[in-house]
Amino acid sequence: MRRVELSSLTGIRFYAALFVYLYHVHVIPGAERFTSQRLLFNLGDLGVSLFFVLSGFILTYNYAETFLNGVSAGSYKGFVWDRLTKIYPVHVLTLLLVLPVAILSPRMPLDWRAVPIHLLLLQCFWPSSTPAFSDSLNVPSWSISCEWFFYLLAPVTMFLVLGNRRRWIPVIAILGYACGLVLFLSQGQPDSTRLYFVSRFAPSRFVEFLVGVFTARVFLNSLGQKPAAASGRAQAAGVVLIIAGAVYAPYAAWPLLGGGLLYVPGSVLLILGLAHGHGVVAAHLSQPWIKRLGLASFSFYLIHMPVLRMVKGFYLRLGSSVHSQPAFWAVLIGTFMVVQTAALLVWSGYEVPSQTRLRGWLAQRRDVRGSDPLRRSGSAQRADKSARAAPGGHRVTHPLALRGPVQAHGQRDRVGGSRRGPPSRLVRLAGTEAYGTETPQTRERVHDPQSLLQRDLVSIKDHERRGQGGDEHAGQDCPENEP
């Protein structure tokens, strides 16, 4: 059964993306003098850090049952494909959108080596600050590269963290990595190298994702309680710690400068408080219009920089800049409206349909492979052999032992732990024919695995034609919180 959606955590994604947008407004000529000394325009690191912690929390909340007892090849492949279909379509679209801008830019010449790196989402896998691949093309996509790194490790990470004794393994690994990184950066490395390895190198940012996974473990263990008062206090304490981190950030030493560690304690408390759904802040973030903006936040995040670069190019071509406070706010609000409108259109007309189509394509391939007896896996064939011995010497094959569409229909979906479709019809079918009283009319069908498989496929197709089959979450975006 799919878990309850945490609407307030969907809504907060909008504000996290908004902080990043406000941080990047300074690229417009003349805007920096109106933004550099204001706290509101210097919360970009907060937005990204909140996304990373939120990502670990929500993915664990949705996939805890899937990876609680282990990680199979099938579950890993399904998880990674679902994550890739979430981030890659919009990433490619915005990359194509920003490419002409980068080619025509007189001040930031394009390094063509960055194009394949960005296409493969490897800009933050690069173990060096030079070339600065993360600073080219659509710059905010560096955090999507980090997210892709997190996704590749997420199934194993969730399996480890959700255990009792094994939960300390990733903690020990992170502490070992941190010690090695400090030793490396202490050996006279330039500030640019220190900043890259602390703020953008994907393994360094993994700690925030890991904190989100542990936070989800705490939350799942607290379900069933009624912490209404504690929820409000956690939200208030989280906001206070976030503001304190933002105020202290300009004076922080290099291990804390440029990364998101200052905002992790506040983000954890805020997320825990909002997840319980109590309080004024949670009620505001759960409003339908805020939730809709939160669902479109991923498109907003990736679209805003190409639009800002277009506005910048317009001013440079005119040889002008923002000269006054009213002009600054007019440009800021006007550009925001353009970005938000484009984000909603891309989310509803491209992001969700592409995600649904790609996930359906993989599900269709699984069904086709599962329905072909010549392409079934060795484990499925072994299941057939083990099912052949029946009382009285009969050879009986249970329909649910056949790997493929029959089993896939009864398995848990890889989105949110929900089921693809009700298995009751298949279970009833198995119970009344495979293990029921055998008659001359049913003997041949019961003992013929191919006939059983064909019959079950027809049953499933009929079920799907009535609108009950398939991925029940197709076209919906549960609160998965990529930046």
**DSSP for 354-418?**
HHHHHHHHHHHHHHHHHH-GGG--HHHHHHHHHTSB-GGG-B---GGGSTTHHHHHHSBPTTTT-
| Residue 483 pLDDT grade (very low, low, confident, very high; cuts 50, 70, 90) | low
Average pLDDT estimate for 351-364: 89
How far apart CA 281 and CA 187 sit, in angstroms, is 45
pLDDT at site 459: 45
The mean pLDDT of 417-444, rounded to a whole number, is 36
10-14, 119-123, 185-189, 354-358: which has the minimum mean pLDDT? 185-189
Residue 170 has what pLDDT?
Answer: 94
Q: How many CB atoms lie within 10 A of CB 226?
A: 9
**Residue 210 confidence (pLDDT) above 80:** yes
Residue 164 has pLDDT above 80, yes or no: yes
Mean pLDDT of 417-437: 35
DSSP for 32-50, please give it: HHHHTT-GGGS-HHHHHHH
**CA-CA distance, 292 to 298, in Å (whole number)?**
12
Q: What is the pLDDT of residue 130?
A: 87
pLDDT at site 145: 96
CA distance 170 to 211: 11
Distance of alpha carbon 172 from alpha carbon 7, whole angstroms: 33
Tell me the C-alpha distance between 428 and 156, whole Å: 36
Query: Strand pairing partners for 389?
Result: 395
CA–CA dist 355, 91 (Å, integer)? 12
Interatomic CA distance for residues 294 and 50, integer angstroms: 13
**443 — pLDDT class (breaks 50, 70, 90):** very low
Average pLDDT along the chain: 79
pLDDT at position 375 is 47
Between CA 269 and CA 254 the distance in angstroms is: 25
Strand partners, 395: 389
| pLDDT (0 to 100) of residue 191 | 84
pLDDT tens digits, one per residue of 275-292: 988 888 999 999 999 999
**Radius of gyration, alpha carbons of the chain:** 26
Top pLDDT among 475 and 196 is at 196
Kindly state the helix (H) or strand (E) to which residue 297 belongs, with its residue range.
helix 297-318
3-state secondary structure of 419: strand
pLDDT at 293 over 60: yes
Instruction: Give mean pLDDT, residues 359-384.
Output: 61
Helices within 249-296 (DSSP H only): 264-275, 280-285, 288-295
Residues of the chain above pLDDT 70, percent: 74
Distance in angstroms between the alpha carbons of the first and the last residue of the chain: 27
| 202-222 and 44-67 helices, crossing angle to 10° | 60
**pTM as predicted:** 0.77
What confidence category does residue 453 fall into, taking pLDDT thresholds of 50, 70 and 90?
Answer: very low
Q: Does 448 have pLDDT greater than 70?
A: no
Average pLDDT rounded to a whole number, residues 454-478: 41
The amino acid at residue 135 is: D
State mean pLDDT over 207-211. Answer: 96
Query: At 373, is the pLDDT very low, low, confident or very high (cuts 50, 70, 90)?
Result: low
Write down the pLDDT at residue 346: 97
Kindly report the number of other CB atoms within 10 A of residue 28's CB atom: 23
pLDDT of 447: 44
Distance CA 235, CA 253 (A): 27
Q: What is the mean pLDDT of residues 396-405?
A: 33
CA atoms within 13 A on the CB side of 275: 27
What is the DSSP-derived secondary structure letter of residue 422?
-
Least confident of 32-36, 103-107, 197-201, 238-242: 103-107
Mean pLDDT of 366-377: 57
Dihedral sign from CA coordinates of 89, 90, 95, 101: positive
What is the dihedral angle through the alpha carbons of 227, 232, 236, 241, rounded to the nearest 10 degrees?
20
- Answer yes or no: is pLDDT of 415 > 50: no
Residue 461 has pLDDT above 60, yes or no: no
pLDDT of 108: 75
Over range 237-260, report the average pLDDT.
Answer: 86
DSSP letter at 2? P
Tell me how far apart the alpha carbons of residues 144 and 123 are, in angstroms, rounded to a whole number: 9
CB 286, CB 235: distance < 8 Å: no
Structure tokens at 174: 């992170």
Cα–Cα distance measured from residue 184 to residue 177, given in angstroms and rounded to the nearest whole number: 11
Name the residue with tokens 């790609």.
358
* Statement: residue 63 has pLDDT above 50: yes
Helix (H, G, I), strand (E, B) or coil at 13: helix
Share of the chain above pLDDT 90, in %: 55
